Amino acid sequence: MGEKTIQKDAKIMIEKLKKEGIDLVWDRLEKQEPQCGFCALGLSCRNCAMGPCRINPFGDEPQKGVCGADADIIVARNLARAVASGAASHSDHGRDLVEVLALVGKIKAYSVRDGEKLKRLAQEYGIDTSKSVEEIAHELAESMMEDFGSKKERIQMIDRAPKRRLEIWEKLRIIPRGIDREVVELMHRTHMGVDNDPVNILLQCMRASLADGFGGSMIATEVSDILFGTPQPKVSTINLATLKKNEVNVILHGHNPIVSEAVVEAASDEEITRLAKEAGADGINLAGLCCTGNEVLMRKGIPMAGNHLLQELVIGTGVVDVIIVDYQCIMPGIVDVAKCYHTAVVTTSPKAKFKGAIHIEFTPENADEKAREVLKLAIERFRKRNPDFIKIPDVKPMELMTGFSVEAIVKALGGTLQPLIDAIKEGSIKGVVGSVGCNNPKVRQDYGHTVLAKKLIENDVLVLDTGCAAVADAKAGLKRMGSANLAGDGLKKVCEALKIPPVLHVGSCVDNSRILVALCALANELGVDISDLPAAGAAMEWYSEKAIAIGTYFVSSGLLVVLGVPPPIHGSQLVLDVLTNKVEELTGGKFVVEPDPEKAAEVIIKHIDKKRKKLGI
Ligand code: SF4
Ligand code: MSK
C-alpha cells in the first residue's frame, strides 16, 4: 500500500496509532486483500437461496446463475440495490426531519428558524400561508409526507427542473411518483424473477435516484434550513488542531443535524459550563466529523475535525471525551479504537445502535435533556483522560469560509444570478463543477479531491463542494480568505470582487440537492436545459452507496460525472456501455471512470469547453 493520506495531521496520527498497536481502516483493508474479483466486477449474486452464484469474467463456465441470470442482469441488479440503499439513506434522513417539522409548536427543543423559507416552501406545495407558523409547518410536513408515499403522480420539487428536462424524464418515464415507492419498486424489481431487462432496471435506478435528489435529499436540506436556519457565509477552522487539550472535546459525527443542533444548544448551558470547569476543563469544545460536521459548520460555524478517514484517528488524539453519532458513515471500528482510550462512543438513534457503544436515545421530545446528559458524560470522561496517550498534531488549524447555501450565493451576487451568468458568458468563469463524496482507503486520502479542485480553479472553473470532498478542499486551504490567488485570472477577479473563495462549501451529502437547485436556476435563467450548461460532477474518492445514488441523479439530470473509484459494473459490457456512453443520448449526462484527478480535470474541462461552444459563449 502506498502513502495513506496527503494530510499532515492524519499522517501524525497514523504513526501514533501504529506505535500503539491499533488496527485502522487501512490495516483492515490490507487484511482483506486480495478482495473478491467477482464482487469487484459486480458478477456475484446472493439474491436467493438457489445461489450464491457468480459469473466467470473470462468467458469460461459458469456464464449463468442457477436461475439463468447472466452477467448483464446480475450487474444491473447489484447496482440497483446500491442505488436503492443510497436513496433510502438520504430519504429516511429527510423523513426524520419532516417528523420534527410536524411537531413544531408542540416540543421545546425545535422551532422554525427560517420563517421566510417555510413560507416559500409552503407556497410551492400550494399551502395557505396566511396561517400561523405552526399551522404552516404542520401542513407542509403533511404534504412532504405524501411525497414519500404512493398517493401522488409526481413528487413536488421535481418541478424545480427546467421544462426541457422534465420532458426528457417524462419521455423516459422516470419522473419519480413517491420517494419510498421508487425505492421499494427498485428492490422489488431486483428480486429473482422480476425485472430481467438490464436497461429497464437502469431506468428505474434513475427514477429512484431522482426521488432522492429532488425528493429525500432536497426535503432534508430544505427542512433543515427551516428548522435550523439557512446557512450564510462565515469563517471557521478545520483539522485535528481544532481539538483543545484543556477543554472537554465532543465530536459530532454522522449526518442528521437533529441531535447535533440540540448538543450545540446545550453546550452553552450555564450548568454544563460550570460542571466542565469543576472538572478542571476550560470549557466544552465541539468539533464535527463527516456530514453532521458539515451541517453544524455551515449553520453554526462549529469547527470541523475531519472527514471519513479521520474518524478513528480523531479518537487516537486521546483528548476526545465523547464521540456522539447519529447515523451513516460511522465505522463500527470506532468502538474498538475508543476502547483503547477513555473515549465514550454514544449512539442516539434507534436505527443505528453499535455493539459496545453507550446508547442514549434522542427523540424530538427529550433532545434538550439528552443533550445535557451526553455532555455530562463527556465531562466525566474528561476526568479519565490518560496523559500518556495524548497527542494533538502540531499543525495550525486551517481557516475556511463556509455557509454557501444557494440563497447565500445569490445574496453574495447582489440578489440575482445575473452576475454569475455574465461571468460565465464572458468566460471569467468557464463553468461550474460539483465535487462531492467520500474518502476511500483505496485512494490516498484527500489526494483525488484536492488535486481535482486545484486544477479546476486554476482553469477558471468554480467548484461547489459537499461532504468529505468539502473537508478535503478546506484542509488544503482552498476555502481560505485569500485563496482566490490559487484560481486562474478570470475566476480570481470574480472571487476578489465578491470576497468569496474559488471553492464554495455548499454543505453535506444531502446538500448536493443545493447543487441541483443552483443548476436548475441557472438553466431556467438561461432558458436552456441542465445538460446544456458548462457544468459537471465528480466523486473522486467515493465509497458509499449514497454516492452511487448521487452520481446517478446527476447523470439523470444531464451532467457528466467523473468517478475516481471504479463502480462494480465492469463485469457487464452492456451496463458499462449504457452508463458511460449510451445514456448520454437519453439524458445528456454520463459517467466517466478516471482515477487520476489530473486526467479527470482534463476530461471535465474538455466537456465544459464543448458545452460553451455549443451555447455559443
Ligand atoms: Fe443465483 Fe439467480 Fe439466485 Fe442470484 S437470483 S443467487 S443468480 S439463482
Ligand atoms: S459523510 S457519504 S463518507 S461524503 Fe456524508 Fe463523507 Fe461520503 Fe459519508
DSSP codes of every residue in 541-606: T--SHHHHHHHHHHHHTT-EEEESS--TTTT-HHHHHIIIIIHHHHHS-EEEE---HHHHHHHHHH
* pLDDT for 612 beyond 90: yes
The two domains 68-228 and 240-389 share their CATH topology (first three levels equal): no
- Mean pLDDT of all residues in 44-63: 98
Ligand 2 atom with the smallest distance to the CA of 329 is 8
- Looking at all shown ligands, the one closest to residue 289's CA atom is 2
> Quick one: how far is CA 61 from the chain centroid?
40
By C-alpha distance, which of 217, 232, 606 is closest to 436? 217
Mutate-to-test residue for ligand 2 from 544, 545, 548, 565, highest number of ligand atoms within 8 A of CB = 544
pLDDT in tens, 114-151: 999 999 999 999 999 999 999 999 999 999 999 999 88
Ligand 2 centre and the CA of 16: distance in Å? 25
Stretch (H or E) spanning 188: helix 179-190
Cell numbers found for residue 417: 444570478
Ligand 2 centre and the CA of 541: distance in Å? 10
By C-alpha distance, which of 57, 29, 32 is closest to 43? 57
Cell numbers found for residue 220: 432534508
- Mean pLDDT of all residues in 346-368: 98
Please give the pLDDT value at position 247: 98
Ligand 1 atom with the smallest distance to the CA of 74 is 7
Cα–Cα dist 289/320, whole Å: 12
Fold (topology level) of 240-389: Rossmann fold (3.40.50)
| Contact (CB, 8 A) for 478 and 486 | yes
Ligand 2 centre and the CA of 184: distance in Å? 23
Mutate-to-test residue for ligand 1 from 66, 187, 188, 572, highest number of ligand atoms within 8 A of CB = 66
| Contact (CB, 8 A) for 199 and 229 | no
What contacts 265, CB < 8 A, 6 or more positions away? 109, 368, 371
* pLDDT for 1 beyond 90: no
The pLDDT > 70 percentage for the chain reads 100
* 437 in contact with ligand 2, CB cutoff 6 A: yes
Ligand 1 atom with the smallest distance to the CA of 51 is 6
Q: Tell me which amino acid residue 275 is.
A: L
By C-alpha distance, which of 223, 144, 221 is closest to 180? 144
Atom 7 in ligand 1: which residue has the minimum CA distance?
Answer: 65
Cell numbers found for residue 87: 436513496
Ligand 1 centre and the CA of 52: distance in Å? 6
* pLDDT for 211 beyond 90: yes
pLDDT in tens, 508-551: 999 999 999 999 999 999 999 999 999 999 999 999 999 999 99
- DSSP-derived letter for residue 501 is -
Please give the pLDDT value at position 2: 83
* pLDDT for 198 beyond 90: yes
* pLDDT for 183 beyond 90: yes
Residue with cell string 454544563: 272
State the greatest distance between any 2 C-alpha atoms of the chain, in Å, as a whole number: 71
- Mean pLDDT of all residues in 301-329: 98
Q: Tell me which amino acid residue 253 is.
A: H
* 309 in contact with ligand 2, CB cutoff 6 A: no
Residue ranges covered by each domain of the chain: 68-228, 240-389, 406-615
pLDDT band at 607 (very low <50, low <70, confident <90, very high): very high
Please give the pLDDT value at position 585: 98
Please give the pLDDT value at position 11: 98
Using CA of residue 263, residue 267, residue 272, residue 276, what is the dihedral sign? positive
CA-CA distances (angstroms) from residue 363 to 326, 415, 426, 430?
12, 38, 51, 46
CATH of domain 68-228: 1.20.1270.30
pLDDT band at 378 (very low <50, low <70, confident <90, very high): very high
Ligand 2 centre and the CA of 305: distance in Å? 14
Architecture (CATH level 2) of domain 406-615: 3-Layer(aba) Sandwich (3.40)
Give rounded-to-5 percent helix, strand, coil for the chain.
Answer: 50, 10, 35
3-state secondary structure of 313: helix
- Mean pLDDT of all residues in 450-474: 98
Measured in residues, the chain has a length of 617
* 452 in contact with ligand 2, CB cutoff 6 A: no
Where would I find the beta strands (DSSP E) of 32-163?
44-45, 53-54
Ligand 2 centre and the CA of 440: distance in Å? 10
Ligand 2 atom with the smallest distance to the CA of 469 is 4
- Looking at all shown ligands, the one closest to residue 192's CA atom is 1
pLDDT in tens, 257-286: 999 999 999 999 999 999 999 999 999 999
Ligand 1 centre and the CA of 563: distance in Å? 28
Cell numbers found for residue 316: 487516537
